[in-house]
């Protein structure tokens, strides 16, 4: 059985598309192994790979010379580990999904002349993938136009979309139904795998500012950090708004499908899942990202008409209350936004990426 090695940083944004590709490759009779960092050890029992290999890596943090030297040394050690791993398992191809833990195994594969593919989840290319881009055989992108200003890289780029998990594909089968004139309005709020403090600070206060009629219609589901649970719950109780607040929702794709409006950050996986399922969203990009990737991701849905993008400085209780009130009272706009978001989705992205990987693997 041929083997494909997937390399991904140990966060959900990198691991979710890798998991989706692993599922498709396995169905096609291809064995899969995963190279990652220690953060992904918790996925060991669920990630659909024959083996999981922990490779030494480090992330560039700042420009301190000592820190940069340490990072380079760690990545060098990881590359040597990658060379030994590849000599042992002899994969037909190596696929990288971004993050600095991707660099050692993918770089090692290029040194060993093993076919390589990298996948860029964001609307702008991340630094690890940019380091590898000129060295690999093919580049897969989630969005169109990521490399259209770089002729040499664009020549080996293919837009596949961002692979989504089976749970997302299942949720995408649920059509959007706008809220009725006096019916419930389901609001879903989340800010990443561990929630986000900004959502706890702003959204409950925004809901508290809504009129009593709208508060009576609202049903809120909000992801919040453990330390924020009590205060968020108390505000909703004070406003007499039905709310379910928890640190994590294992069924988040189904929650997205059942929502009327989503308020969230705009990481690559979030945007891919909103687009695949097709739900209107108010997106608040993480403001301090080096490459402004979340702002670029939100911009794709905003330009399509499927989302509203708010800078964090503009994300105030008063502004959010106004936007929620306007959207909830214009169901036809919500329907149009849902359809526009859906137009940017690619529920077959994992199959398209698998096709690309197998073509590259078969290239002499």
Closest CA to 92 of 362, 310, 333, 273: 362
Count of alpha carbons within 13 angstroms of residue 293, beta-carbon side: 21
* 183 and 159 assigned to the same domain: no
Kindly report the number of other CB atoms within 10 A of residue 336's CB atom: 15
* 147 and 228 assigned to the same domain: no
pLDDT tens per residue, range 38-51: 877 665 567 889 99
* 133 and 40 assigned to the same domain: yes
CATH number for position 92: 3.40.50.2000
pLDDT tens per residue, range 78-91: 999 999 999 999 99
Mean pLDDT of the chain: 93
Mean local confidence (pLDDT), 175-184: 94
* 142 and 270 assigned to the same domain: no
* 13 and 138 assigned to the same domain: yes
Quote the pTM value.
0.90
Give the rounded percent of residues in the chain with a pLDDT score beyond 70.
96
Let me know: does 8 contact 96? Beta carbons within 8 Å.
yes
* 114 and 210 assigned to the same domain: no
Closest CA to 98 of 193, 196, 12: 12
Closest CA to 140 of 124, 151, 156: 156
CA–CA gap between residue 322 and residue 35 (Å, rounded): 46
* 298 and 325 assigned to the same domain: yes
Grouping H, G, I as helix, E, B as strand and the rest as coil, residue 32 is strand
* 191 and 58 assigned to the same domain: no
Grouping H, G, I as helix, E, B as strand and the rest as coil, residue 38 is helix
Let me know: does 237 contact 205? Beta carbons within 8 Å.
no
pLDDT tens per residue, range 48-80: 899 999 998 877 776 778 888 888 888 899 999
Count of alpha carbons within 13 angstroms of residue 320, beta-carbon side: 30
Domains identified in the chain, total number: 2
* 103 and 151 assigned to the same domain: yes
Pick from 53-67, 241-255, 269-283: least confident:
53-67
Partners of 54 in the β-ladder:
36
* 289 and 183 assigned to the same domain: yes
Is residue 193 predicted with pLDDT exceeding 70? Answer: no
Question: With bands split at pLDDT 50, 70 and 90, how would you rate the model's confidence at 252?
Answer: very high
* 251 and 308 assigned to the same domain: yes
Let me know: does 265 contact 196? Beta carbons within 8 Å.
yes
Q: Which is more confident, 364 or 244?
A: 244
Segments forming the whole domain that contains residue 66: 3-164+347-361
pLDDT tens per residue, range 19-36: 999 999 999 999 999 999
CA–CA gap between residue 224 and residue 12 (Å, rounded): 17
Q: Which is more confident, 9 or 26?
A: 26
* 103 and 236 assigned to the same domain: no
């Amino acid at each position: 059985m041929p083997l494909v090695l997937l390399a991904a940083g140990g966060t959900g944004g990198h691991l979710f598309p890798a998991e989706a590709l692993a599922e498709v490759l396995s169905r096609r009779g291809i064995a899969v192994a995963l190279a990652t960092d220690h953060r992904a050890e918790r996925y060991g029992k669920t990630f659909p790979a024959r083996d999981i290999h922990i490779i030494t890596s480090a992330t560039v943090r700042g420009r301190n010379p000592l820190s940069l030297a340490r990072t380079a040394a760690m990545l060098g050690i990881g590359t040597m580990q990658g060379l030994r791993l590849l000599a042992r398992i002899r994969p037909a191809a190596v696929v990288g999904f971004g993050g600095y833990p991707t660099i050692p195994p993918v770089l090692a594969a290029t040194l060993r002349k093993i076919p390589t593919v990298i996948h860029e989840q964001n609307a702008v290319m991340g630094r690890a993938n940019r380091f590898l881009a000129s060295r690999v055989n093919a580049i897969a992108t989630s969005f169109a136009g990521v490399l259209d200003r770089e002729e040499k890289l664009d020549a080996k780029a293919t837009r596949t979309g961002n692979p989504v998990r089976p749970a997302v594909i299942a949720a995408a089968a649920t059509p959007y139904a706008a809220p009725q004139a006096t019916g419930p309005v389901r609001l879903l709020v989340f800010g990443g795998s561990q929630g986000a403090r900004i959502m706890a600070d702003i959204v409950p206060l925004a809901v508290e500012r809504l009129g009593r009629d709208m508060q009576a219609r609202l049903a809120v589901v909000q992801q919040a950090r453990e330390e924020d649970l009590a205060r968020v719950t108390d505000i909703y109780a004070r406003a007499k708004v039905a709310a379910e607040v928890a640190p994590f929702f294992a069924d988040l794709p189904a929650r997205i499908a059942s929502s009327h409006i989503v308020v969230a950050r705009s990481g690559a996986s979030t945007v891919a899942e909103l687009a695949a399922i097709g739900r209107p969203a108010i997106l608040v990009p993480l403001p301090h990202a080096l490459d402004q990737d979340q702002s670029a991701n939100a911009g794709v849905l905003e330009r399509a008409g499927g989302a509203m993008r708010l800078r964090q400085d503009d994300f105030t209780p008063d502004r959010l209350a106004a936007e929620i009130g306007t959207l909830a009272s214009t169901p036809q706009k919500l329907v149009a936004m849902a359809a526009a978001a859906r137009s940017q989705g690619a529920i077959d992205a994992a199959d398209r990426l698998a096709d690309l990987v197998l073509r590259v693997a078969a290239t002499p």
